[in-house]
Every structure is written in structure tokens, then in C-alpha cells.
Structure 1
Amino acid sequence: MNHNAPLPPASPRPLRHLSRTGGHRVLTAAQLRSHGVSPAETTEQCRPGGPWQQILPGVFLLHPGPPTSEERLHAVLLYAAREVPPPTGVPLQPDPAAGDRPQGPAYQAAMITGLAALTLHGFTAAPPLPSLERIDVLVPRLRRLRSTGCAHVIRTASLPAPVQATGVPVAPVPRALADAVAGMTDAGAVRRLLSEAVRAGHCEPAAVVRELNDAKLLSRPHVVDAVDSLLAEGRSIAEARLYRMVSEHGLPDPVWNVDLRLPGGPHLGGLDAYWPEQAVAIELDTRAPRRGHRQDDDATWSEYARKREHLERLGITVVYITPKKLRDAAEQQAAVVRTALTASGDRDPAAYVVVLPR
């Protein structure tokens, strides 16, 4: 027996194994080549009445008939993602455990956004995937790629970190909302999406408004109206969380929603909660950039800072809490407030102020 004889070349698996494997059965031309399928064979499989079909340029569906929603998502991602060069040499053999599903690196620099992303995030106000004629996909600004078929390409100078939803990379909720709203003219639909984002705890109003501002959507009257409702609802939710934090973590009851004034003097500002005996106050920081963009945000923060400095000169401790911290770290925020209340006994007495309902 000649042990030095060359091994016969590895032969590719028959084409039928690709159509029989699990997964969504969507592959690119490059992935097919890595399985040993030549362009000519791919063309033959996609002939009219054949077992395969081209769903997007360079992306093939390995069965006849319409694609499932999952297959459309993966097809759009494969079309838009930067192709990872397949290994050279021996054609890939399928992994029985994984089927032919492209794994993470195949989706480099692309993610689902817009209404499809919101559906994947679990929004009930977003339409079901089968009803979407197009699927928005977010890619870097310099990608040379055009929208075609069900793939609607959106470019961005700064690609956010994707979130995995049902095994698919999707844009974070604030970015997906901005991309969805950009193509919507129905004021009611916009309001429902923004409201659900906050009410269901997907994100805070400030993050949504920041993305809408960056996308230059706050010049549209129907978007501004929806944002006004969003901010009002966001504040209401934050106030409810604040009440719950005080109650559940055993803090003494404050007076709620008050204005402070110096006796016979100027108005000092409104506060969400105030403990008169300890001279400790809470103010919810619900700032968000509006049509004035960052300058307005800076001006609002300057006003916060001026009020805080004035109150603290009078001996009043002001604790600022963001809605996000109330949602994600209520126990920690309660500890901050408790520390301020306890420390009041070690401070000089605060100036006398008049407390009025707001």
C-alpha cells in the first residue's frame, strides 16, 4: 500500500443537502461557493420552476415559494452586511447542529432598523413582519449599496451597537424609532409608537428625543406633537416611580410637587419632593434636547445648575434623579436620598423658606 499517494480531492456535498438542512435556508453566492456550488450550478438551480430562487442580488433562497418573515430578515442582512471571506480550499461541510444558518460575523456592519426592528423588540404598535413590504437595514454611510426588493438601505455616519432580538441584530429602540418615524406621516401612529417606547419601559424619553433631533425630525409638526405627549407621559411615569421608590424603600413621606420662595422674596423654583425638616429636595432630571438642539439642552442644564447652587447656598440639599436611574437602580437612589436625610443633622440649619403647592 502506497502511504505517500496523494489523497483524492474532497468532493462537495450534493446540492440537495443544502435544501434539506435546518435553519432559514438563505445563503449568499459566496457561501454557496464555499459549499462547492459553482455560479453555473446556482444559476441552474434558480431556473424558472427550479428548486431555488434569487431573493436579492447575490442572495439565494434554497426552496421555491415565498420566503418566511425570518428568511426575509436574514436575506436583507446578508445583502447588506460586509461579506466575510469564506475559507479557501476544502468546501465547507454543514454543521449538523447549526445547519447552514450564517453565524454572527456574517452580519458585520448591518442591522435591522425601523418598523421591522420595533416589531422584533416586541412593540404591539408596530405592524407584523409579513405585512411589511420593505425591511429597513442600517449600514455605515460609506457603504456602496442601493435599496432593492424588500431591502431598504439606511445609512448612518455612526453605527450603534446592535441588540440581539430573536437571533437577529437590530438597532436599539431609540434609533429604530427615529428610522421608523422618518418614513411616517400618520400623527396617531407616530404617537402610539413613541408612547409604547416609554410606557413599556423600552427606553427613556430623552433618548428618543435625542435620536429624533439628530435625525432632524423635530421640524415636522406631527412629530413635535407626538414628542410633547411623550415627554408629558414620561414625566408622569417618572413621578409614579418616584412615589414608589419612597414608599417601597421606607423613606419618610415628603411634601410632593412644591414651589419654594424666600419670605417676601423671589421664587426659588419647583421641586418634585421636599423634606422641610431635613431641607432635602428631589428634582427629576427629565431634560431632553428639542428643536433648539444642543444649545437648548445646555441652557436647560444651566438653569438646573443655577437653581441647585442657589438652594444649596440656603442650606437645602438637592438630589437630582434621572428617570432611567429610577427605573434601573431605585434602591441605589433611595440610599442616596436616605444618606442626605441622615446627614442633615450634621449641617447648619437651612434658611427659612415658604413651601407652596405647585
Structure 2
Amino acid sequence: MKQRGRWAAHPETLTQHSTHQVIRAMTLESLDMSSRVIYRRCLPGGPWRRLLPGVILLHNNDPTPDQLVHAALLYAGESAIVTGEEACLRYGLRLPDAEGPRHIHLLVPHRQKLNSSEFVTIERTRHLPAPWLRAGVPLAPLVRATTDVVRRTRDSETVSRILIEAIQRGRCSPQALAEELDRGTKRGTAIPRRLLAEWSDIRSVAEAEAQKLAKSLPNPPTHQNAALYDRSGHYAGRPDFWWDDVGLAWEIDSMEFHFRSNDYARTLHRNTRYAALGIAVVQTLPSRLRTEPNAVLNELGDAYRAAEVRPRPPVSLRPAG
């Protein structure tokens, strides 16, 4: 039987006209393939798969994340932008429950009439941001992508973890996230608004995680952000967490948060003051609060027991009168 169409005479043409082996059905038809042939090749047991209305995968294996994303973009058109969880993952964030089935959230211009389908959620917006292009994929800015995730999340603990990841790893400020929430719909924003209102700056985000972790200790810190003074009434420091009974400080202000050299210099001066006064200090990377919580708890427990058997440093919570 004589094969018909350019695609049959030159099979490589299909690859040339596809993206990651994903192609529009109308593109296949432009290569002289009939809709009947396309349909037949996508039937169970056939060589291809239909991913979305009018979008074909040129093999019948499970699609990769890249193939799902490009299928979604082909379905939604040239103006579409990837946002939400998929965009956050492509920016390098580590999201809770990100190992499940891939779901693609797209932003499209409000004037575009298009329905969600299969694994694709279509959101029409009057505030379509300028995309950031990564590996050929147009992404919403990270601040927008993060808020698009949290306003669809109902669990406050999960919302907290997502916001903390965006702030710590993505370098989004709490203020920028709050402003982005103000620009969009108010639906689903109560939880992230409350959390962001509690986090006035980037340090307080890590402290919120540390405070939650410290509750697991047999001897939790006695004070948080309390000013310390030496015997002469001179300011000694303001540790993030303080055990006044044994004179132990815990600081969560590592190089992860030092954007300027003078921040780092202040930390060095503070640690020198602590050392001169005999204050034991435990320093913890903010990321370890999530990745190694048990190790952090063990370090704090060891430091507390060591502080118990040495003389308490000559500092107080009030300056000498």
C-alpha cells in the first residue's frame, strides 16, 4: 500500500515540528495526515497518545514533566504562562507533596475563552505578568507563582512551609508576597495573609520555624529576642533564643540570610562579644530546621547539658542599675 503524506515519506518531519515529541493535531494535519489516521494511532495499543484536546504525544509511554508542560502550553496558546506548583518547582523550590501526579496551572489573558482540561488548570487574568523564560518554558515570576499555590491550599501548615521555602530559598520578601496577594483575588488568601503579617522580615520566618521546633525540647528556651547586658550594663547582644537558667544562646542568622557584607560583619562582632563573656552559642542554618530537625534538637540538647555544668556567664536581661 502506498504511503501518503509528507510525514510518511519523511518521519523525521514529525520530530522537527514537535516540542519534546509533543505536537498539535492541526500541525499533523498540515503535514497531510488525516484526522482519522491521527485518531487511530492514539487508540489503546497504538504508537501515540492523546494528552489534551488537539495535542498529541508521539509515543505511547508515560509523558515526562517537560512533555506535560509543553502539551499544556500548546493547548493554551502562545500567551499562556506557567504558574503555581510547576513554576515553583522549576525555580528550584522544594514543595511539600510535590511527588504526586503533575498538575499544570496556566495563566492566560482574560479575553481568551478556554476551559481547564485533564491535568491543566486554566486561569484567566487581567493581570498577566511578564514571563521569565527558563529552559524554553515561560514562567510567572516566583512571587506570583507562590501566591497562586498558597491561595489554592487550605492547610495552614502546608501554606507556611511553601511561604517559608519561597522566602528562604527563592529570596522572596514577605512584603512582596503580601503585595502580590493584594493585587489578585481575595479568595483563599486568609491563611497566607495572616502568616505574612506575623513575619515582618526574613529573619522572623526562620525564627517561626525554630520556635515550633524548640517546643519539642525537654528544656525549651526561656526567652526570645531578649536583650542581654554585662555586669557593667553594656549591651551584650539579643539572641534569637535564650536559656536564662544556664546562659545559652541560639542564633538563626547564618550566611543564608546575609545579603550584604556589613550583615556578616555584625554577626562576627556579636559572636566576639559572646565569646568574651563566656556565652555559649549554637548557630543553625535556617534550611536545617526543615532538613535535619532531629539533628538540630540533639545539638541543642547537648549544648544545654554542657551549659549546665559550667559557671553561668555574667549577663542579665536588664542593665545593672
Shorter-chain TM range is 0.5 to 0.7
Deviation of residue 169 (structure 1)?
1.1
Deviations 1:246-296 (A, max 9, x none): 7769xxxxxxxxxxxxxxxxxxxxxxxxxxxxxxxxxxxxxxxxxxxxxxx
Q: Does 1:60 align with 2:56?
A: yes
Q: In the TM superposition, what whole-angstrom CA distance separates every residue of 1:55-104 from its partner, at most 9, and x where no partner exists?
A: 100101111132111111111111111xxxxxxxxxxxxxxxxxxxxxxx
Equivalent position SS for 1:169: strand
Deviations 1:187-218 (A, max 9, x none): 11111221222222432222211111122448
Q: Which letter does structure 1 place at the counterpart of 2:155?
A: D
The alignment status of 1:37 with 2:36, answered yes or no, reads no
Q: Does 1:245 align with 2:214?
A: no
- Secondary structure, in 3 states, of the residue corresponding to 1:231? coil
Query: 1:154-173 CA distances to partner (integer Å, 9 max, x unpaired)?
Result: 11102111112233111111
Equivalent position of 2:95 in the other structure: 125
Q: TM-score, normalised by structure 2?
A: 0.58
CA distance in 1, matches of 2:160, 2:145: 15
Provide the residue aligned with 1:199 in structure 2: 168
1:298-339 Cα offsets, whole Å, 9 max, x none, are xxxxxxxxxxxxxxxxxxxxxxxxxxxxxxxxxxxxxxxxxx
> Cα distance, 1:226 vs. partner?
1.9
The aligned length equals 215
Question: Equivalents in 2 of 1:219, 1:40: separation in Å?
Answer: 44
**2:250 pairs with 1:233:** no
Structure 1: which 5+ runs fail to align?
A: 1-9, 82-107, 250-358
Q: Distance in 2 between matches of 1:145 and 1:165?
A: 25
* Structure 1: distance between partners of 2:191 and 2:201: 16
Residue type of the alignment partner of 2:41: Q
Equivalent position of 2:191 in the other structure = 222
> Within 1, Cα distance between the matches of 2:158 and 2:203?
18
2:150 is matched with: 181
Q: 1:141 to 1:207 in 2, by over 3 A?
A: same
Question: What residue in structure 1 maps to residue 299 of structure 2?
Answer: none
How large is the Cα RMSD of the aligned pairs?
3.3
Question: 2:7 aligned to 9, 13, 36, which one?
Answer: 13
Does the Cα contact within 8 Å between 1:12 and 1:35 map onto a contact in 2? yes
Q: 1:241 to 1:20 in 2, by over 3 A?
A: closer
Q: Cα–Cα, structure 1 residues 172 and 234, in superposed 2: closer, same or farther, change >3 Å?
A: farther
Aligned position for 1:115: 85
1:158 and 2:152 matched: no
Larger Rg: 1
SS at match of 1:51: coil
Aligned ranges 1:178-327 → 2 under 5 Å? 178-217=147-186, 220-233=189-202, 241=258, 244-245=261-262
Alpha-carbon spacing, 1:219–1:147, altered in 2? closer, same or farther (3 Å): closer
Distance 1:26 1:218 in 2: 35
Q: TM-score, normalised by structure 1?
A: 0.53
Is 1:171 matched up with 2:167?
Answer: no
Match of 1:139 in 2: 108
Give the deviation of 1:48 after TM superposition. Answer: 2.9
- Offset, 1:231: 2.8
Q: SS at the partner of 2:7?
A: coil
Tell me if structure 2 keeps the 8 A contact 1:53–1:62.
Answer: yes
**Separation in structure 1 between the aligned mates of residue 183 and residue 154 of structure 2, nearest angstrom:** 19
* Contact 2:110–2:125 under 8 Å retained in 1: yes
Q: Is there any run of 5+ residues in structure 2 with no aligned partner, and where?
A: 207-252, 267-321
